[in-house]
């Protein structure tokens, strides 16, 4: 006798959850749980899982469950266990029971982390580590430091504020051309009575709290002052109360889903502060530092306000006169830029970002400054300027002296009057920079010539870009800010008929367009800490849409990161990101208006801030850039630049994916606890091991002892070794190549660490600088394993032994042979790329030291990892950068 399982399935329509709620019954959840047990037991067979699911459904019917009598989750799980045993799958039953026990333990741990007795849908779907990060840094707390919101409420808080940004551009309210006359002050009067309007208005099911309402007021006042509001503020509130804007509930839901499905996350300040008291949503700021005491103190005060609001600051100190120069007003001598950096460092120390973490700074000095040598070596000592990343800014004149001149002579000039102070050798200076970075991972280099090569904004701002945010990926003019966000590319896949993944290009385009609008709204809803920042940010409307999860995506697609196929695929990803975001920015300009200074830029001349358009043959372009340029000339563009690949250390932990466009740091690394060794394993890699019957604690230990890599391990098939590459498997020159592939199409720059093994020389670091400039990079940060005064976290055990060599890819070799024409650069790079025999990365003493206190996470005291140009904690999500 056969059983009609479709009839059985239709007779059970609901299931009772653990919290008592009734939800729709979904047999796929049973199949997936059984399949996971099969995989854990080395039998990844979907057909068996489907057959066993049918048995479970039959058993549920036999037990009397039906539409009128739904089973509980526990009932279903009991039936799975008994079915597995009855069908002769005893070992699978054990695996399922263990899985069930682990799930129960995870639920309990999640409730403990969130300090709650029930879990919302986001808490159930997010990994425990994701929730730990949310709880430690993002969820709102009361004055007793108790968590007061769930993850769902947090994402809703953010989505509502961003959605409010769409409402005031509704055609019933907004006139793009201006000319309307409304009283902005009428709206501002409501700022004094925010408490009276807390949760009084709603859009669909979403209630506006008082800080959402504040955002509505401020944006209305801004648009009314520009003559772009057709209705008075009271009329807007009347329409809101009459539910005339209910359609925007769908937009809010769209933004909410982007975040809760882990497809996209905005930068950390947005998640911390949107719909909350501080209301400051930007990660990146740049301040000026003119050679005037009043201006210096003004910048110091503004920096403190930015740190307090949750942002980080970049400052170029090159306009400050050099140490020992005459100060006419006091008949004294100048103390030099480094002394003023120490002032900002102290301010950073005492003012926590958003009350949650110390601020981050970028300190820049240009190569022509007389104090440049002191600046370069300043951070080689421990404990100096700990709240700073430092970088040397270079221009065409320095580069020409370095690679074109025969004697390398380079003149240092007074910041006060540009009079020559002394002459140095450019080769000696680059050697000093390389040696310092070899020792301490600082300074970085910022190539201002490359940054300004396609800077369409220079004419409008009266000069070139001369500063970046703390991690170097976002160039800004003084008082500009940038709102960043990252798309999780690892999520944008779909399964083919053969079970393998392919990238979903249509979904990528849709996500880019939605998130471009999301970030444009953030500009409007931002509660800026300083009036000058409000003005400058809205004049340029600069956004930084980026990516994360690139390494995980390539794992899913079975594409080696540093292969020709890998580079070409990343090239297409980068081009699509900027093309679709700029095209959407044009669409926004048509409905909302171009950014204020657009007409004064080079956009009307048909120029764009994207190097790939100019430097790659049109036959290699995937998109019609000429058509897009014509649209910009006709309609303008909403945002001066749209794309940046920012650090995503913390965001990647929340999205449960790899960092930015970085390769995976390690497939497996260990954490020692009192009961023994515990291994963190990349989830995609773990799944592949299980599906191929390779998973074991013994193999994980071998991988951890192999610097987190499978390269050279006989137990691991060659195809897995080729695909699952890590940062340590990739030659430093290929790290540069990957960064360059993205830089071709990214409007701003890339947060990337150029990982180097311990045995490289300072000459290799110099060669990396030369190659980076040739590749068109806008900046470079190198990190030699073991180069900090005390080692950051090694992703290895005490027994680590490297079983593989790392060499440049053939793709990289081809680029060098075809593209590098300068004889000096070619000689230096070729010499550095000669194959070396790697040594075990020990410190100079030959002994691995204990990790010192200053290299531990300030929040949880676990070791920090250096990636994407900043330190992050893999335990609690602390980040030395502000965006991720």
Instruction: Check whether the bond before 443 is cis (ω within 30° of 0).
Output: yes
Residue 730 · residue 757 · CB < 8 Å: no
Q: What pLDDT does residue 461 have?
A: 97
Q: What is the mean pLDDT of residues 162-173?
A: 97
Answer yes or no: do 524 and 408 share one domain.
yes
**Same domain flag for 430 and 371:** yes
Q: Return d(Cα 63, Cα 151) in angstroms, integer.
A: 37
Q: Which of 149, 366, 442, 473 is catalytic?
A: 473
| CATH number of the domain enclosing 613 | 3.20.70.20
Q: How far apart are CA 549 and CA 567, in angstroms?
A: 15
Task: Give residue 92's pLDDT.
Answer: 85
Q: What is the dihedral of CA 728, 729, 734, 738, to 10 degrees?
A: -80
pLDDT in tens, 398-421: 999 999 988 999 999 999 999 999
Tokens 């709650």, residue? 116
Count: domains in the chain? 3
Structure tokens at 450: 């490359």
* Cα–Cα distance for residue pair 515/511, rounded to 1 Å: 6
**Sign, CA torsion 696/701/707/710:** negative
pTM of the model: 0.89
What are 310's two structure tokens?
């949750």
Can you tell me the mean pLDDT for 755-775? 94
Question: Does residue 676 have a pLDDT over 90?
Answer: no
Residue 446: DSSP 8-state: E
Mean pLDDT over 768-776 rounds to 97
Q: Which residues of 56-80 are buried (b: 16+ CB within 10 A; e: fewer)?
A: bbebbbeeebeeeebbeeeebbbbb
SS (H, E, C) 607-633: CCCCHHHHHCCHHHCCCCHHHHHHHHH
DSSP letter (8 states) at residue 730: S
Same domain for 253 and 270: no
Band (pLDDT 50/70/90 cuts) for residue 95 is: confident
Q: Which of 378, 389, 450, 469 is catalytic?
A: 469
State how far Cα 219 lies from the chain centre: 27
Q: How many helices (H) and strands (E) does the chain have?
A: 34, 27
Q: Note the pLDDT of residue 874.
A: 61
Q: Contact, 336 vs 320, CB < 8 A?
A: yes
Residues 336-390 have pLDDT tens digits of 898 899 899 888 888 865 455 566 899 999 999 999 999 998 887 777 888 889 9
- Poorest-pLDDT segment among 97-106, 395-404, 440-449, 579-588: 97-106
The region of weakest confidence among 38-52, 109-123, 184-198, 568-582 is: 38-52
pLDDT category at 711 given cuts 50, 70, 90 is very high
| Cβ-based burial of 501 (10 A; exposed 0-12, middle 13-18, buried ≥19) | middle
**Does residue 306 fall inside a structural domain?**
yes
pLDDT average, residue stretch 506-516: 98
Report yes or no on 799 lying in a domain. no
Q: Is residue 881 one of the residues assigned to a domain?
A: no
106 and 160 housed in the same domain: no
- How many C-beta atoms surround the C-beta of residue 22 within 10 A? 11
Written as six digits, the tokens of 515 are 């998130």
pLDDT of 166 = 98
Helix (H) or strand (E) holding 677, with range, is strand 676-681
Domain boundary among 133, 159, 175: 133
Count Cα neighbours of 819 within 13 Å in the Cβ-side half-sphere. Answer: 16
99 in any annotated domain: yes
Higher pLDDT, 882 or 253: 253
Q: For 199-244, how does the pLDDT look when each residue is reduced to its tens digit (9 = 90+)?
A: 999 999 999 999 999 999 999 999 999 999 999 999 999 999 999 9
Same domain, residue pair 155 and 108: no
For residue 847, name the pLDDT band (cuts at 50, 70, 90): very low
> Is 183 a domain residue?
yes
What's the pLDDT at 667? 95
Whether residue 447 is found in the same domain as residue 537: yes
Region 136-145 average pLDDT: 93
Which of 430, 425, 399 lies closest to 412, judged by CA?
Answer: 425
Distances (CA, A) of 141 to 135, 136, 565, 877: 9, 10, 47, 18
Backbone φ and ψ for 390, nearest 5 degrees, come out as -125, 145
**Contact predicate 239/245, CB 8 Å:** yes
The 3-state DSSP class for residue 313 equals: strand
Does 165 lie in the same domain as 104? no
Q: Which domain holds residue 511?
A: 263-658+730-785+823-844
What is the rounded average pLDDT of the residues 514-536?
Answer: 97
Residue where one domain finishes, among candidates 80, 100, 133: 133
Catalytic status, residue 28: no
Q: Nearest Cα to 249, choosing from 284, 183, 203?
A: 203
Tell whether 193 and 329 lie within a shared domain.
Answer: no
| Domain's final residue, options 261, 279, 294 | 261
Which among 13, 46, 12 is positioned nearest to 32, based on CA atoms?
Answer: 46
Whether residue 34 is contained in a domain is answered as yes
DSSP 128-181: HHHHHHHHHHTS-B-TTS-B-S-HHHHHHHHHHHHHHHHHTTSTTTB-TT----
> Is 97 inside a domain boundary?
yes
Two tokens, residue 437: 């970075």
346 closest CA partner among 315, 296, 304, 311: 304
Q: What is the CA radius of gyration of the chain?
A: 28
pLDDT at 835: 45
Active site residue 482: no
If we measure between CA atoms, which residue out of 516, 514, 491 comes closest to residue 501? 491
One domain for residues 277 and 128: no
Other beta carbons within 10 angstroms of residue 274's beta carbon come to: 27
What pLDDT is attached to residue 869? 61
Both 60 and 201 in one domain: the answer is no
Local structure of 471: helix, strand or coil: coil
Note whether 537 and 643 are same-domain residues: yes
Q: According to the model, what pLDDT value does residue 624 have?
A: 98
Q: Is 735 domain-assigned?
A: yes
From 130, 284, 471, 873, the catalytic residue = 471
Same domain, 394 and 515: yes
The token duo for 753 is 């660490």
- Burial class of residue 665 in the structure, from the number of CB atoms within 10 Å of its CB (0-12 exposed, 13-18 middle, 19+ buried): buried
Please tell me the predicted confidence (pLDDT) of residue 850.
43
- The CA-atom distances, in angstroms, between 11 and each of 22, 24, 32, 58, 718 are 15, 12, 21, 11, 49
pLDDT tens digits along 422-457: 999 999 999 999 999 999 889 999 999 999 999 999
Tell me, what's the pLDDT at 357? Answer: 57
In this predicted structure, what is the pLDDT of residue 61? 87
- Closest by CA position to 61, among listed 5, 121, 132: 5
Neighbours of 327 (CB within 10 A): 14
- The question of whether 471 is a catalytic residue gets the answer yes
Beta bridge partners of 333: 326
């Amino acid at each position: 006798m056969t059983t009609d399982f479709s009839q059985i399935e239709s007779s059970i329509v609901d299931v009772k959850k653990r919290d008592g709620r009734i939800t729709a019954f979904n047999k796929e959840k049973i199949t997936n749980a059984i399949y996971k047990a099969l995989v854990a037991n080395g039998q990844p067979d979907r057909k068996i899982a489907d057959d066993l699911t049918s048995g479970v459904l039959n058993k549920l019917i036999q037990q009397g469950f039906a539409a009128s009598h739904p089973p509980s989750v526990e009932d279903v799980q009991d039936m799975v266990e008994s079915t597995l045993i009855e069908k002769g799958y005893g070992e699978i039953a054990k695996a399922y029971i263990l899985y069930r026990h682990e799930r129960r333990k995870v639920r309990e741990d999640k409730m403990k982390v969130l300090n709650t007795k029930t879990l919302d849908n986001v808490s159930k779907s997010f990994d425990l580590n994701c929730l730990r990060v949310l709880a430690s840094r993002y969820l709102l707390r009361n004055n007793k430091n108790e968590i007061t919101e769930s993850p769902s409420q947090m994402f809703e808080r953010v989505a509502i504020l961003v959605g409010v940004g769409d409402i005031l551009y509704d055609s019933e309210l907004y006139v793009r051309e201006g000319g309307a006359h409304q009283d902005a002050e009428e709206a501002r009067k409501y700022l004094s009575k925010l408490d009276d309007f807390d949760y009084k208005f709603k859009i669909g099911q979403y209630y506006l709290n008082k800080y959402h309402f504040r955002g509505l007021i401020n944006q209305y006042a801004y648009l009314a002052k520009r003559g772009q509001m057709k209705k008075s503020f009271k009329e807007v509130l009347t329409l809101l109360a009459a539910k005339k804007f209910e359609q925007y509930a769908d937009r809010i839901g769209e933004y909410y889903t982007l975040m809760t499905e882990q497809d996209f996350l905005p930068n950390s300040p947005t998640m911390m502060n949107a719909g909350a008291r501080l209301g400051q949503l930007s990660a990146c700021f740049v301040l000026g530092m003119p050679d005037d005491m009043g201006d210096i103190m003004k910048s110091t005060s503004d920096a403190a306000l930015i740190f307090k609001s949750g942002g980080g600051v970049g400052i170029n100190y090159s306009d400050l006169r050099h140490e020992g120069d005459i100060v006419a007003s006091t008949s004294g001598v100048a103390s030099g830029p480094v002394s003023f950096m120490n002032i900002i460092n102290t301010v950073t120390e005492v003012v926590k970002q958003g009350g949650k973490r110390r601020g981050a700074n970028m300190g820049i000095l240009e190569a022509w400054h007389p104090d440049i040598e002191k600046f370069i070596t300043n951070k080689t000592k421990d404990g100096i300027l700990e709240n700073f990343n430092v970088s040397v800014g270079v221009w065409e004149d320095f580069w020409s002296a370095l690679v074109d001149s025969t004697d390398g002579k380079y003149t240092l000039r007074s910041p006060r009057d540009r009079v020559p102070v002394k002459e140095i050798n450019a080769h000696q200076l680059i050697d000093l920079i390389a040696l310092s970075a070899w020792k301490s991972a600082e300074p970085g280099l910022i190539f201002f010539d490359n940054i300004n090569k396609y800077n369409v904004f220079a004419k409008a701002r009266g000069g070139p870009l001369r500063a970046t945010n703390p991690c170097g990926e976002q160039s800004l003019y003084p008082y500009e800010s940038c709102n960043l966000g990252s798309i999780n590319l690892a999520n944008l896949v779909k399964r083919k008929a053969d079970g393998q993944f392919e990238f979903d290009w249509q979904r990528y385009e849709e996500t880019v367009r939605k998130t471009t609008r999301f970030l444009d709204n953030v500009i409007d809803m931002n509660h800026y800490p300083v009036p000058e920042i409000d003005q400058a940010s809205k004049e340029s409307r600069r956004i930084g849409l980026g990516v994360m999860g690139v390494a995980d995506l390539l794992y899913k697609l079975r594409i080696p990161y540093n292969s020709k196929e890998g580079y070409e695929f990343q090239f297409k990803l980068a081009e699509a990101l900027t093309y679709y975001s700029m095209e959407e920015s044009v669409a926004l300009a048509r409905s909302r208006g171009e950014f204020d200074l657009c007409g004064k830029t080079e956009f009307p001349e048909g120029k764009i801030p994207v190097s790939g358009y100019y430097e790659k043959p049109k036959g290699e372009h995937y998109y019609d850039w000429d058509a897009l340029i014509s649209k910009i000339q006709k309609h303008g563009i909403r945002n001066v630049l749209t794309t940046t690949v920012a650090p995503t250390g913390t965001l990647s932990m929340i999205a449960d994916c790899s960092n930015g466009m970085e390769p995976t740091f390690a497939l497996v690394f260990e954490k020692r606890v009192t009961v023994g060794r515990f291994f963190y394993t990349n989830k995609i890699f773990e799944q592949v091991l299980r599906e191929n019957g390779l998973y074991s604690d013994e193999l994980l230990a071998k991988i951890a002892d192999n610097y987190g890599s499978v390269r050279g391990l006989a137990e691991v098939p060659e195809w897995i070794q080729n695909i699952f590459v890590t940062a340590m498997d990739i030659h430093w020159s290929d790290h540069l190549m990957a960064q360059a592939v993205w830089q071709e199409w990214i409007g701003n720059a890339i947060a990337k660490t150029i990982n180097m093994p311990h045995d490289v020389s300072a000459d290799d670091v110099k060669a990396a600088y030369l190659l980076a400039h040739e590749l068109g990079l806008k900046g470079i940060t190198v990190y030699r394993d073991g180069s900090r005064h005390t080692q950051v976290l090694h992703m290895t055990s005490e027994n680590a032994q490297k079983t593989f060599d790392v060499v440049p890819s053939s793709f990289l070799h081809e680029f060098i042979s075809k593209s590098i024409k300068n004889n000096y650069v070619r000689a230096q790079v070729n010499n550095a790329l000669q194959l070396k025999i790697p040594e075990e990365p020990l410190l100079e003493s030959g002994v691995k030291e204990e990790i010192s206190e200053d290299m531990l996470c300030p929040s949880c005291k676990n070791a920090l990892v250096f990636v994407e140009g900043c330190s992050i904690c893999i335990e609690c999500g602390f980040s030395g950068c502000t965006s991720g």
